[in-house]
Structure 1
Amino acid sequence: MRASNWGMIWTAVMPLAVILYYFFRKKYKDQQVSSTLFWQERMRELQASPYLKKLQHHLLFYLQLAALLFCVLALIEPFSESETLAGNDFIFVVDTSATMLAGAPTHFEQQQQNMKNLAAQAGGKPVTIVTTGISPKVVIRNEQDLEQVDKAIDQLAVSFEKAEIEQTILFADTLAVNDSTIIHIFTDSLDRSVFANKTGQSYHIHGFTETLRNVSIRQFGLSKMDNGTRGIVQLVNNSEEALPATVRLSSGSVEKEVDVELAASEERLVPFEDLPDDMLWQATVEVADDYSTDNTMATYLAPPVREVAIESALHELIASGFRSLSLDVTLLESSQLKPDSGVPLVTNQRDLLEGPTPILLFGRNDENPFKVAGQIETKGHPLFTYASLDEIYVSQLYPPFESYETIATIDDHPFIQVSPKGDIVVLTDVQLTDWPLSPSFPLFLWSAMESLSGDAEFLGYFQPNEHRSVSLASKTGEWEIFREGMYSHSYIEGSGPFIAPAEPGIYKVVGDEKEMTMIVQLNSQEKTLSAGSTYKMGQVEAVQDMVRFSFVPFLIGLILLLVVVEWEVYRRGITTR
């Protein structure tokens, strides 16, 4: 503790004067009394205690003395100094990627504590917190209340997304007020090359130098063989030491496991033969490493189809629409179309509907069209989730199929139908409508391919928090997402893109009486740990500032309290006389 006004030390004579007053004040008066009374008074004088002992009975004296001493102390203005962070305001960039869960305690927990320590040193200067990810988020902006900053830090959570830290730094640069803004980056490791062309701001990178042990499942795939299903698990030992591990594949009640010994930095393929023909499998590696998030991976046996065969006699706008979806398009003559090829076919051949191959039928080769007029009306179906047909003009339609479900009509005439095995029938030719000129046409083709080539019970693979357009339609318009029987969140149709859950794993998407499976997988970059460091980049660091904390307000409060107590002691003394 230091003082900034030593000139007021002379006021210390005031408590000294009170002490002298109590020491030398008159205790007894001389007066004439009878001999007996004189003798008693004399004995009391001889038995009196020394001056200091007498003072023990003088509470009022002590209170006055203490109040005066605190007054003197307040007048010399005592204070304490502590270092504060360099800069006028601060931006905390927080890495919330999955690798921050490595270590014990985790890197994320350690960085939360580091952020609290630095916020306490900010000395009331503004603090902004930004989290990383595909879409960086501002948690708090220019907050000066330390309690609110600590609360925001406690509420931070790992999002499992790819960090995209360079993009987040660019975003943080736009939030900087001026050159005095210091950007603190809390991550596990960050290469210096990221700041090669950055000179406008000062960056303080807080990383970890420790090297952790990690074994990850880099890839997991299934393929159907003549004698059953074969699975392959790719293991990577991202460590500097050999580690024993157990690889386990499970599907329902079926489990198979293999013990392996992984050398330092080794990559190994672990095969599993003669697996049952189950669709959904999960691979797990049991190993004594420091990062368990990448020790599990799931896969679904039915892969999505990425090609389509189109009858060359159809209008070329159909092929152009499919090519815009980045699909492999094959044009075939009518005689070359194979009903058992397994590749979705786009044709007008009515006979091909009887085969096992999924069909998208445009028009009919066995009927003649008739004229129609009116607006298109659609039912709730995944094909129309993103393809609106409101402004489409159709001049003619073909007769419908009696046993097919109608999902779109024009003047009560069937326009689009779905067969019992899932084939899609559009009862018009492309040249009889202006549909290809509408943005909804390629969206409809995409939805049709998802319906024809995908598994009706599998929604797809997603990355954590991924935003994606999916074909979901139900009567209620609401889908609930569950993991291991526990409710996660809901998705409302039409409320925006479908957002995948944050944590990797297997999820169930339930709507009405329909249930689908989705798999959330880590980005491959989140399966590798690397040692980092703590360093500073950018502008030359400013001189460390000092912040003063004055004790005067506390002393004034204490003096007022003593005055109140002193008054109460004085009042009680008067009333007892």
Structure 2
Amino acid sequence: MNFITPIFFLLTVFLLAVILFYLFRKQYDRQVIPSTLLWQQVMQEWQATKWWKKLQNHLLLYLQLFILLLLIVALTRPFLGMNVLSGEHIVIVLDTSASMTVVEEADETTRFTIAKGEMEELIDQLDQQMLTVILAEEVPTILFSNETDPNVMKSKINEVTPSYQHGNVEKAIDLGIQILSGTSGEIHVYSDLVRKEQVNTNYLQNKLVVHSIGTSKENLSLHTFGVSQHTDGINGLLTVYNESEEEQLARITIECDGQVLTSFQELIGPGKLVQLPISDLPVKPYYKAVLNYEDNYVVDNTLFAFLGENTSPTIHVVGEINSFTARALNYFTTDLIQSDNLSNETDENVIYILEDAPDNEWPNGPALIFSPTDGESIHIKDKENLQDPVQIIEDTLFQYVDMEQVYIQSSKPYVMRELETILASGEMPLISKGYYKGNPIILVGFNISDTDWPLHSSFPIFLYNAINFLTEKQQFLGYVKPSEKLPVSHDSQATNGVIVNETDQEVMNVNLDESFIQAPRIPGLYKLIEETEGSKSERLFTVAIDTEEKYIHTGTSFIVEANEENAINSEEKPNEIWHWLVLVAFVVLLIEWEVYRRGITI
């Protein structure tokens, strides 16, 4: 035990003063008694007693001396060692990446849970210091700042869950350095892998402590998976990495909707990345590669692949269309089919091009329709010459397309409330787009022969943009990272949108007024479902972790002291116990008062 102000020990002289007061205080009251014969013997015995024995029967004295002694020692400010945390502000950086979900066998829990437990231990060591917690996600976020209530700190930390994103610890540390700029304190990092060379010490003004979490090294993971269609069928390629120090047997199945399409196994050497070819796969909307291997890290044991998400659609031209349009379409696909009538068979990757067709002859699929004729859902008037200049609504169909330079002589006025008009002349709609019976559709009210549009370079660009819009509905949304924002065009007639997981459990609702969706946090296969009156559309996408998160090896703990040029002195706080001494003195005072009230002696 040490003392901050030992000079107050000089006050112990007051202990002697209290004793002297007791020795010389008035001890008798004058009373009239009938005889002093019996008192003389008692007085003689008491006068013969040593002075220190005269104090033995004074319990109140002892209690008062003890109280005074406690207060004197409290004034000296005794302390037991120094506080582990120095400075007035502590910053914690917590890694929330996917690799923090590895289960450590020794603790039978995840690295993330272990890190949160160590953070709570640090909170218990705070000495009225402020605490800020930064979550090391792909874009670091502040969980809370300048908090002083330990209960609030622990409550908010317990609510944190893994983000499964790649943990950008370097940026999180830089953010912590900015928060502590000009302030004394420390930065504590809880992560499974931080290297000393990753820390930028040029602007480090405070002590940096890295707590390495986890020790597991045994892992077998799927790194990449893709499929493609060739003349000999559908083939795939899968890469498997063995991070273990021993040879491992990888048992792999390729599935779709719970059905096993093929299975195989391969021995993978230690530290080896092996490519495994897959052949003769049937046509499926998606393919799921599953690594049947029991390890402590499960999120890297599954991968998804989509067939033909980048393949060009088949363009089906129905009937006669303008020759300039047909010639331009040849630039966008090698699979152009022209027929007089619609086929009864449906294709999932086809776009229909029609001209002068009523709505009862429109196909059940994405369509670009020029100069439509009167029908049940659309009302067409006779062709009229344009009187007013064109009005252009900003839209992706007109990206790099300047319609003001295009001459349009005449068009057919039409009314179709299901569609959104994006080009008009006065009150006359010229081009509209939207969804009809659950399918994307583009309606062009004029005939191309009544314009000079084919003479402009913007005409093939418009067709390209139109094909992209028409295929977006049926294309897979692709691969996204956890919680990533994904641009999406919603059906204008959709009344409800949800995202469901592989087992069709609803994960979240979709705001149809926004031009994007936020991907779920947990890796896996998901569907974006949009409902309209009488129809429903589905688009698949998969949430996958970053390749960096497929390695589970850990680093070591280390401490980096502040740069001497920028260092801010952070005096260590002693663990003072004076307040406990004052508390004990108060309790003894209560006891002393009770002894006095009852007149207890010993």
TM-score (norm 2): 0.69
| Distance of 1:172 and 1:501 partners within structure 2 | 28
Matched, 1:135 2:148: no
* Aligned residue in 2 for 1:161: 165
2:225·2:236 contact (CA, 8 Å) conserved in 1? yes
- How many corresponding residue pairs? 541
Distance 2:184 2:323 in 1: 66
For 1:94 and 1:386, locate their aligned partners in 2 and report how far apart those are by CA, in whole Å. 45
| Equivalent position SS for 1:236 | strand
Report the AA paired with residue 214 of structure 1.
N
Residue 242 of structure 1 is aligned with which of 223, 247, 251? 247
Match in the other structure for 2:517: 498
| Distance in structure 2 (CA, Å) of the matches to 1:179 and 1:52 | 58
For 1:431-446, list aligned pairs within 5 A. Answer: none
* Cα pair 1:474 1:511 within 8 Å, conserved: no
1:426 matched to 2:440? The reply is no
Kept in 2, the 8 Å contact 1:243–1:287? The answer is: no
Q: Which amino acid aligns with 1:566?
A: E
Cα pair distance change 1:466/1:425, threshold 3 Å: same
Distance 1:354 1:228, change over 3 A: farther
Contact in 1 for aligned 2:102/2:111 (Cα 8 Å): yes
Match among 188, 200, 210 for residue 203 of structure 2: 200
> C-alpha distance in 1, partners of 2:492/2:473?
18
8 Å CA contact 1:183, 1:201 repeated in 2: no
Inter-partner Cα distance in structure 1 for 2:553 and 2:138: 21
Shift of residue 205, structure 1, vs aligned partner: 4.1
Task: Name whichever of 59-68 and 97-106 sits farther off.
Answer: 59-68
Alignment partners' CA distance in 2, 1:269 and 1:294? 16
1:95-174 pair list within 5 angstroms: 95-104=95-104, 105-118=109-122, 123-174=127-178
The secondary structure found in structure 1 opposite 2:112 is helix
C-alpha deviation, 1:67, in angstroms: 2.4
Selected match of 2:219 from 214, 217, 220: 214
Counterpart CA distance in 2 for 1:488 and 1:286 is: 26
Q: 1:253 to 1:165 in 2, by over 3 A?
A: closer
Cα distance in 1, alignment partners of residues 546 and 163 from structure 2:
12
Report whether the alignment pairs 1:301 with 2:304: no
Q: Which residue does the alignment assign to 2:563?
A: 539
What is the identity, as a one-letter code, of the residue corresponding to 2:162? V
Cα pair 1:245 1:260 within 8 Å, conserved: yes
Compared with structure 1, are the counterparts of its residues 558 and 122 closer, same or farther at alpha carbon in structure 2 (3 Å cutoff)? closer
How far apart, in 2, do the equivalents of 1:478 and 1:415 lie?
26
Contact 1:280 1:298 (8 Å CA) reproduced: yes
1:281 and 2:281 are equivalent in the alignment: no
SS at match of 2:331: strand
Q: What is the distance in 2 between the residues matched to 1:282 and 1:68?
A: 78
Q: Please list the CA deviations of residues 193-240 of structure 1 after superposition, one character each: whole Å capped at 9, or x if unmatched.
A: 5457x5122555444584612211112234457787555432211222
Spell out the pairing of 1:265-280 with structure 2 (5 A cutoff): 265-270=271-276, 275-280=281-286
Residue 370 of structure 1: which of 368, 384, 388 is its match? 384
Shift of 1:138: 1.8
CA contact (8 A) 2:352 2:365 kept: no
Cα drift, residue 135 of structure 1: 2.8
Q: Is the 8 A contact 2:309 2:478 kept in 1?
A: no
Amino acid at match of 1:291: Y
* Structure 1 counterpart SS, 2:70: helix
What is the deviation of 1:392?
9.0
Asked if structure 2 preserves the Cα contact closer than 8 Å seen for 1:126 and 1:142, the reply is: yes
> Within 1, Cα distance between the matches of 2:599 and 2:199?
75
**1:461 paired residue number:** 479
The one-letter code of the counterpart of 1:539 is N
CA-to-aligned-CA distance 1:278-318 (integer Å, 9 cap, x gap): 423322212243322211122333524368999994699xx
* Aligned equivalents of 1:123, 1:148: Cα separation in 2: 15
Letter of the structure 2 residue corresponding to residue 266 of structure 1: K
Q: Aligned AA for 1:570?
A: Y
In 1, the alpha carbon distance for the partners of 2:596 and 2:209 equals 60
552, 567, 576: which one pairs with 2:593?
567
CA distance in 1, matches of 2:93, 2:326: 53
Name the SS of the counterpart of 1:519 in structure 2: strand
In structure 2, the residue matched to 1:416 is 432
- Name the CA shift for 1:192/1:567 in 2 (closer, same or farther; >3 Å): closer
CA distance in 2, matches of 1:240, 1:229: 35
For 2:197 and 2:369, how far apart are their aligned partners in 1? 54
RMSD between superposed Cα atoms in Å: 5.5
Contact in 1 for aligned 2:486/2:517 (Cα 8 Å):
yes
Match among 174, 178, 181 for residue 177 of structure 1 = 181
Closer, same or farther: CA 315–58 of 1 in aligned 2, 3 Å: farther
Residue number in structure 1 paired with 2:344: none
Q: Percent identity?
A: 23
On the 8 A contact 2:418/2:436 being kept in 1, the answer is no
* 1:447-487 alpha-carbon deviations (Å, 9 max, x no partner): 8515326526x444321111121012365654222333444
Answer yes or no: is 1:552 the counterpart of 2:558: no
Report if aligned partners of 2:414, 2:445 keep a CA contact under 8 Å in 1. Answer: no
| Contact map agreement 1:85 1:544 (CA 8 A) in 2 | no
Would the aligned equivalents of 1:344 and 1:360 in 2 still touch at CA under 8 Å? no
Q: Distance in 1 between matches of 2:89 and 2:101?
A: 29
Q: What is the distance in 2 between the residues matched to 1:406 and 1:543?
A: 69
Q: SS at 1:112's partner residue?
A: helix
**Which residue identity is paired with 1:416?**
S
Query: Does structure 1 conserve the Cα–Cα contact (< 8 Å) formed by 2:413 and 2:445?
Result: yes
Secondary structure in 2 matching 1:156: coil
Give the direction of change, closer, same or farther, for the CA distance of 1:93–1:68 in structure 2 (3 Å limit): closer
With over 3 angstroms needed to count, the CA separation of the structure-2 counterparts of 1:423 and 1:493, relative to structure 1, is closer
The change in CA–CA distance for 1:569 and 1:474 in structure 2 (over 3 A counts) is: farther
Shift of the alpha carbon at 1:504?
0.5
Q: Could you tell me how far 1:167 is from its partner in structure 2?
A: 4.4
Q: Which amino acid is the alignment partner of residue 567 of structure 1?
A: W
Q: Cα distance, 1:545 vs. partner?
A: 3.1
Write the distance in 1 (CA, Å) between the matches of 2:209 and 2:592: 54
- Measure the CA separation in 2 of the matches of 1:447 and 1:143: 54
Amino acid at match of 1:102: V
- Which sections of structure 2, spanning at least 5 residues, go unmatched? 340-346, 374-379
Deviation at 1:386, TM superposition (A): 10
1:371–1:396 contact (8 Å) kept in structure 2:
yes
Q: Secondary structure at the match of 1:294?
A: coil
Are the structure 2 counterparts of residues 386 and 371 from structure 1 closer, same or farther at C-alpha, using a change threshold of 3 Å? closer
The CA distance in 2 between the partners of 1:59 and 1:396, in whole Å, is: 116
**CA distance in 1 between partners of 2:495 and 2:174 (Å):** 38
1:470 is matched with which residue?
Answer: 488
